[in-house]
Structure 1
Amino acid sequence: MTATPADERSTYDVIVLGAGPVGQNVADRAHAAGLSVAVVERELVGGECSYWACVPSKALLRPVLAVADARRVDGAKQAVTGPIDTGGVFARRDRYVADWDDSGQARRVRSTGVDLFRGHGRLDGPRRVSVTRQDGTREILGARHAVAIATGSLQALPDIPGIAEARPWTNRHGTDSSTVPARLAIVGGGGVAVEMSTLWQGLGSQVTLLARRRLLPRMEPFVGDLVTRGLTETGVDVRDGVQVTGLRRPDAGGTVTLTLDDGSEIEADEILCATGRTPATGDIGLDTVGLTPGAWLDVDTTCLVEGVDGDWLYALGDVNHRALLTHQGKYQGRTAGDAIGARAAGEPLDDSAWGDHATTADQHAVPQVFFTDPEAGSVGLTAEQATDAGHRCTTIDLDMTAAQGANLYADGYRGHARIVVDLDREVLLGATFVGQGVSELLHSATVAVVGEVPLKRLRHAVACFPTISEIWLFLLAAYQQRKDN
């Protein structure tokens, strides 16, 4: 569809704000339902995940972790004789982000029959979107059935005196930089903080990690302990229970000084803040439909925004604050796209607990992996969360070396596994694994949690010998032994 003057309107069934993976998924599903779809993107088609988050961070981390794995295997470790080639690592990253050229992804969007508009999209009242192009011209789009907001989130910088002067790295600098700072201070204790600590220490920085609480505080407590131990062994100076109270960087190209709450100071060449996210909703016209600019958007199970009349406005991915993970946003996009199609066709919605139009996995079965050394992965509820939710439950804990495959994976393998069992229904409520290679265990755990597979049946899912997956057999056997006793 060609652009039209600002006083004319292009009308579509569905308009999507944001062409990241979440926006692309809702657009694909709505178009598959026979609806005409327009997608508006103000930056790069492919979004944060493709260019500054998931893809580049994992492209950078893989060489670091591959070398670390090799150094744990007799015979292989002798072949690791030099430092990591940082130029090769950065070139690998550049390939995976296509040198920040989104033309390929833009072609892919258009090839599906979806119209792509480049510019800043803002709501302009109910079912209307204004698109302001880079040259300042503007176009008004109308939506017959739905507008879906998939604009993501932005780095939230902490309110620390001197932070503007310090010019900190955000998550974007952490993945698009091609210079290794001699000393890097990282503030935060979540997923971005631990992954960036693993990465930059592996590339040659002396990393100091400063966290107010234990690392990865939303996971089982043992996760933070093992990740802290792993980071410390690689040379990261991990300090938890501390807070940065001030920053100074008087010279533009000079070092930054961090003051801590105990009065001590740290000097670094760069500082990276990984202290949470804020919704990218500040300038998308929320006020024109009665919502608060810059706010997270509350949604129902179909991702329909609450507090807006007419059942036409959806919010997907980070903006609804349910689970700030790309895979969960894509899941929401698929589900909401189907819901939009059903509503447009006048079909009944199945928004029951695990229905086709319900995003209930966001509350019950969110999988997450952090590519640290060791890896940490979990799905579902922690023991504390399960208890707080009123479940009568128990936990089964095992050292990962109970599985022979773990011992073969790395000499001196260290790791831990936990499952949370609902005692009344005898199904899994959650599972957590820490150790090398455990990320590939996670989908089997997710299937068990989502499918609510009875443990007496799950034991018939035989794990291959000798794989790390055998840990499942030992976890289930330990539960049965406890039950019998």
Structure 2
Amino acid sequence: MTETDSNAYDVVVLGAGPVGENVADRTRAAGLSTAVVESELVGGECSYWACMPSKALLRPVIAHADARRLPGLSRAVQGPLDASAVLARRDEYTSHWKDDGQVGWIEGIGADLYRGHGRLTAPRTVEVTAPDGTRRTLTAHHAVAVCTGTRAQLPDLPGLAGVRPWTSREATSAEAAPARLIVVGGGVVATEMATAWQALGSRVTLLVRGKGLLNRMEPFAGELVAEALTEAGAEVRTGTSVESVTRENGTVIVTTGAGERLEADEILFATGRAPRTDDIGLENVGLEPGSWLPVDDSLRVRGTDWLYAVGDVNHRALLTHQGKYQARIAGAAIASRASGETADLETQEPWSAHAASADHAAVPQVVFTDPEAASVGLSLAEAEQAGHRVRAVDVDFSSVAGAGLYADGYRGRARMVVDLEDEILRGVTFVGPGVGELIHSATVAVAGQVPVSRLWHAVPSYPTLSEVWLRLLEAYRDN
């Protein structure tokens, strides 16, 4: 290995996923020299192994399911999906796992890209080890932003590595559908990948340790998704733990906590995420390797005046859109501090351009299953645990004319959680086909703290799914 000269920048960004790209974009727009360090593909997890490939797999599945519910189309789409065409489209959306376009974007904003593994060696100092073993030291005058994201967390089962299990990466990049697939977990990755691969030809068995699916949403969300998965042919087993996994002659053998033996061709563990901070030199700046990095609302790591942790690594909201939102906040905060404008940063007033307040009150999420599940803000249980005096208002989508037009037999449910003291919404959940496109209206209502009395004057178009808002408000008024 050889040592080369030091390079000085205003800002050094570790990680070139959507979060790191957005931090770099904002700091460059503010006139700050910026270096970006990436050990894998520029564009990160979302572009190649998460958001983009998973939604490319799921979109034909959802469109096919919707078409089968419509007279005039249902007979024409009774056959299976063309799995090879779906996978080929997925490959297009991942740019065939090549990052030339995103490299060009970084160059276009005037940031410098360093390929290799970056480690903090001292405050404001990052050492980059390139693929050929050469090392380069980068220094940051104003800030280092850690945007390294998360990785799949596997359970501590003896011999698991020898089984070669799927994680989210293998599940979104597989070249063919396994005949039998066991999915361990009940969250977003588990339900979305169960939905996709069941439709693409796998016989899916979903093993869930807890009582149901999507336990971070309102209970009815997981119930409706479980019903749909079962109707599609998947087997959903709740209250089921995995005690051991082996692979014998290519077949995966799972032993459950009840002693049952299950067989599959592949097994996907969707059992959580861990921060990718174990080998970035945190020990050299007084922090614990492998830990989540706690931050203030400007995304600066607590106890430092130069280190920022943006996106998944701070554990505030493990979602790409929230990470990009945080990146915009962090970039503005870094630029303001670099210019000496700190007044707003010190007061951290709610909804300021330098405070990631949405992480606390208005985080939206869509689960792209069939039916879709979408939520923003607090669930009823979360609102009550936070000490709010609230009431849940529920309506069935069967009361909405647009739902029947959307598809025969449309099944869905909506809930808004109303703060009875402030008369604002603390949270909203929709479950049903197409509801992902509804959730931003709810996000505006929750983030904007729009009074219920004002929502009456936001008139939904007829006949659309958004008329569910009128039904929710009527139910609140009448009860």
Once residues 84 and 219 of structure 1 are traced to their aligned partners in structure 2, the CA distance between those partners, rounded to angstroms, is 30
Once residues 247 and 175 of structure 1 are traced to their aligned partners in structure 2, the CA distance between those partners, rounded to angstroms, is 22
1:256 deviates by 0.7
Structure 1 unaligned segments of length 5 or more: list them. none
Give the match for residue 182 of structure 2: 185
Give the match for residue 129 of structure 2: 132
Give the match for residue 68 of structure 1: 65
Which among 248, 251, 254 is matched to residue 255 of structure 1? 251
What are the superposed Cα offsets for residues 178-208 of structure 1, whole Å, 9 maximum, x if unpaired? 1110000000000000000000000010000
Give the match for residue 282 of structure 1: 278
Mapped contact 2:241–2:256 kept (Cα < 8 A): yes
Give the match for residue 238 of structure 1: 236
Secondary structure of 2:248's match?
A: coil
The one-letter code sitting in structure 2 at the alignment partner of 1:344 is A
Mapped contact 2:68–2:78 kept (Cα < 8 A): no
Question: What TM-score results when the alignment is normalised by the length of structure 2?
Answer: 0.98
Give the match for residue 312 of structure 2: 318
Mapped contact 2:317–2:363 kept (Cα < 8 A): yes
Which among 316, 324, 349 is matched to residue 344 of structure 2? 349
The one-letter code sitting in structure 1 at the alignment partner of 2:344 is L
Give the match for residue 161 of structure 1: 158
Once residues 362 and 212 of structure 1 are traced to their aligned partners in structure 2, the CA distance between those partners, rounded to angstroms, is 28
Give the match for residue 106 of structure 2: 109
What are the superposed Cα offsets for residues 64-83 of structure 1, whole Å, 9 maximum, x if unpaired? 11111100111110111421
- 1:435-446 aligned at under 5 Å gives the runs 435-446=432-443
* Structure 1 moving runs of 4+ over 4 Å: none
The one-letter code sitting in structure 1 at the alignment partner of 2:375 is S
Which among 202, 215, 218 is matched to residue 220 of structure 1? 218
Asked if 1:432 corresponds to 2:435, the answer is no
Question: What TM-score results when the alignment is normalised by the length of structure 1?
Answer: 0.97
Mapped contact 1:165–1:250 kept (Cα < 8 A): no
- 1:188-199 aligned at under 5 Å gives the runs 188-199=185-196
Give the match for residue 361 of structure 2: 364
Once residues 220 and 154 of structure 1 are traced to their aligned partners in structure 2, the CA distance between those partners, rounded to angstroms, is 26
The one-letter code sitting in structure 1 at the alignment partner of 2:379 is T
Once residues 101 and 167 of structure 1 are traced to their aligned partners in structure 2, the CA distance between those partners, rounded to angstroms, is 24
Once residues 388 and 79 of structure 2 are traced to their aligned partners in structure 1, the CA distance between those partners, rounded to angstroms, is 52
Which among 415, 419, 429 is matched to residue 416 of structure 2? 419
Aligned length: 474
Mapped contact 1:343–1:349 kept (Cα < 8 A): no
Mapped contact 1:342–1:349 kept (Cα < 8 A): no
The one-letter code sitting in structure 2 at the alignment partner of 1:386 is A
Once residues 6 and 36 of structure 1 are traced to their aligned partners in structure 2, the CA distance between those partners, rounded to angstroms, is 23
The one-letter code sitting in structure 1 at the alignment partner of 2:252 is V
The one-letter code sitting in structure 2 at the alignment partner of 1:454 is P
1:6 deviates by 3.2
Once residues 349 and 115 of structure 2 are traced to their aligned partners in structure 1, the CA distance between those partners, rounded to angstroms, is 37
Which among 461, 466, 471 is matched to residue 469 of structure 1? 466
Give the match for residue 143 of structure 1: 140
1:7 deviates by 4.4
| Overall identity of the aligned pairs, in % | 61
1:472 deviates by 0.2
Structure 2 unaligned segments of length 5 or more: list them. none
Mapped contact 2:4–2:134 kept (Cα < 8 A): no
Asked if 1:22 corresponds to 2:43, the answer is no
The one-letter code sitting in structure 1 at the alignment partner of 2:303 is G
Asked if 1:305 corresponds to 2:301, the answer is yes
The one-letter code sitting in structure 2 at the alignment partner of 1:452 is Q
